[in-house]
């Protein structure tokens, strides 16, 4: 599997306890109100779920301080990426390298020409002003993830504003992926950019540890774009348990506060431990740490100890010496660092 979190495949070759650092999920697990809401919703599963996700969109709208009409829900952000590309059918698009692979996967299906903006170690894998130069009038769509996956590096606010302005000037749809933004020490304020050229993508997958329920949403000020996205997929893609769990998760403020405290503390601990082992750590402002090691077999050696991390060899612009590890609890982070110490 291209992505992390493929625990089922690993179980076929490793019989013991598995510690998964390859998927960037909240180590606190599913919020209790969300779990209970999903369980209660099972009695309604004999009928179709609400195709318009009315209650869920109202809950998201309160949380994001937007109108419910500015939201479309889907089975995770990945589904909405494909829907957005299908809705727009771009002929030319810009992505960063490295970036989440589903951007290019969706664009390739549409026969789109892809232009990559490289992110480099010399700049701590940050998006720079060079990205602006690629936003030319012949471009139809651009994908930008902040903080980026796999580097965890957030886009500078002032540069992001200039990117939005350039996209509006050149009539480029900017798909702004904020799936990891809630993990930042200073997450963005709720609301939408003023520009109609911006489509914001978010998900419950990471922050609320709802990967198995599949739930995401996108937001825009362009009603025509949202309608096209809505029509570019099946009407019942969001199940009743996912809708109920999502609305309940947003109401649990204590969970959100506890998550940010844990991630802030454990991210610092894990980054410090990796640096102490002599590894190069970059970016890493979200709930995962991105680093370079002197070995290209680190993932395979950790698998022998029942530990999964993400090798970044299949990301455009990276190689087999780059890795990504999720931030987990102190005991789990200690176990990862101890295993890395033994190997290195």
Q: Hey, where are the domains in the chain?
A: 7-29+253-343, 32-250
The yes-or-no verdict on residue 1 having pLDDT over 90 is no
CB 160 within 8 A of CB 128: no
- What pLDDT score does 8 carry? 78
CA 62 – CA 296 distance, rounded (Å)? 46
- Phi/psi for 120 (5° steps) reads -125, 155
For residue 126 the two structure tokens come to 């940050």
Average pLDDT over residues 105-134: 97
- Phi/psi for 24 (5° steps) reads -90, 70
CATH architecture label of 32-250: 3-Layer(aba) Sandwich (3.40)
Q: DSSP 3-state assignment of 290?
A: strand
CB 134 within 8 A of CB 113: no
CA 344 – CA 338 distance, rounded (Å)? 10
CA 56 – CA 158 distance, rounded (Å)? 32
- Phi/psi for 10 (5° steps) reads -65, -35
H helical segments located in 110-222: 130-133, 157-169
Q: Which residue has the tokens 């100890």?
A: 305
CATH T-level fold of 7-29+253-343: 3.90.1150
Strands (E) across 197-287 are located at 198-203, 216-219, 280-282
- What pLDDT score does 264 carry? 97
CB 57 within 8 A of CB 80: no
Q: Is the peptide bond before 150 cis (omega within 30 degrees of 0)?
A: yes
For residue 330 the two structure tokens come to 């102190």
Average pLDDT over residues 78-107: 97
Contacts (Cβ under 8 Å, ≥6 apart) of 72: 80, 217, 218, 219, 226, 229, 230
Pairing between strand 307-308 and 19-20?
A: parallel
Contacts (Cβ under 8 Å, ≥6 apart) of 183: 147, 206, 207, 259, 260, 263, 285, 286, 287
The pLDDT > 70 percentage for the chain reads 99
CA 273 – CA 230 distance, rounded (Å)? 45
pTM of the model: 0.95
Residue range 219-251, pLDDT digits in tens? 999 999 999 999 999 999 999 999 999 999 999
Q: Compute CA 228 distance to the chain's CA centroid, rounded to the nearest angstrom.
A: 23
The yes-or-no verdict on residue 203 having pLDDT over 90 is yes
Sheet containing 310-311: which strands, arranged edge to edge? 280-282, 288-292, 322-326, 310-311
The yes-or-no verdict on residue 135 having pLDDT over 80 is yes
Residue range 259-304, pLDDT digits in tens? 999 999 999 999 999 999 999 999 999 999 999 999 999 999 999 9
Same fold, 7-29+253-343 and 32-250: no
Q: Which of 108, 59, 53 is nearest to 81 (CA)?
A: 108
Residue-averaged pLDDT of the chain? 96
The yes-or-no verdict on residue 140 having pLDDT over 90 is yes
Going by pLDDT thresholds of 50, 70 and 90, the confidence category of residue 16 is confident
CA 91 – CA 35 distance, rounded (Å)? 42
Sheet containing 113-118: which strands, arranged edge to edge? 71-74, 216-219, 198-203, 173-177, 141-145, 92-97, 113-118
For residue 7 the two structure tokens come to 């625990």
Q: Mean pLDDT check: name the lowest of 8-17, 115-124, 224-233, 254-263.
A: 8-17
């Amino acid at each position: 599997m291209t992505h992390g979190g493929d625990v089922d495949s690993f179980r076929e070759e490793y019989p013991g306890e598995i510690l998964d650092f390859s998927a960037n999920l909240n180590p606190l697990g599913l919020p209790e109100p969300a779990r209970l809401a999903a369980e209660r919703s099972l009695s309604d599963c004999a009928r179709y779920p609400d195709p318009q996700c009315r209650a869920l969109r109202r809950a998201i709208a309160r949380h994001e301080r937007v109108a419910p009409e500015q939201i479309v829900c889907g089975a995770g952000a990945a589904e909405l990426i494909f829907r957005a590309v299908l809705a727009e059918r771009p002929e030319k698009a810009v992505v960063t390298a490295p970036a989440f692979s589903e951007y290019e996967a969706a664009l390739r299906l549409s026969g789109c020409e892809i232009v990559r903006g490289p992110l480099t170690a010399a700049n701590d894998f940050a998006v720079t002003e060079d990205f602006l130069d690629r936003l030319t009038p012949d471009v139809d769509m651009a994908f930008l993830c902040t903080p980026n996956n796999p580097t965890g590096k957030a886009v500078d606010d002032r540069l992001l504003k200039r990117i939005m302005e350039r996209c509006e000037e050149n009539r480029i749809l900017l798909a702004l992926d904020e799936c990891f933004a809630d993990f930042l020490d200073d997450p963005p304020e709720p609301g939408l950019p003023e520009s109609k050229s911006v489509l914001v993508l978010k998900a419950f997958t990471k922050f609320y540890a709802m990967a198995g329920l599949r739930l995401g949403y996108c937001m825009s000020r362009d009603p025509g774009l949202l309608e096209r996205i809505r029509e570019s997929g099946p009407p019942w893609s969001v199940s009743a348990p996912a809708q109920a769990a999502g609305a309940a998760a947003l109401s649990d403020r204590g969970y959100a506060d506890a998550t940010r405290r844990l991630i802030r503390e454990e991210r610092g601990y894990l980054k410090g431990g990796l640096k102490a082992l002599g590894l190069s750590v970059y970016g890493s402002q979200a709930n995962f740490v991105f680093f370079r090691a002197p070995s290209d077999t680190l993932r395979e050696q950790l698998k022998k100890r029942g530990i999964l991390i993400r090798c970044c060899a299949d990301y455009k612009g990276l190689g087999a010496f780059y890795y990504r590890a999720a931030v987990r609890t102190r005991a789990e982070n200690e176990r990862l660092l101890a295993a890395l110490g033994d190997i290195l």
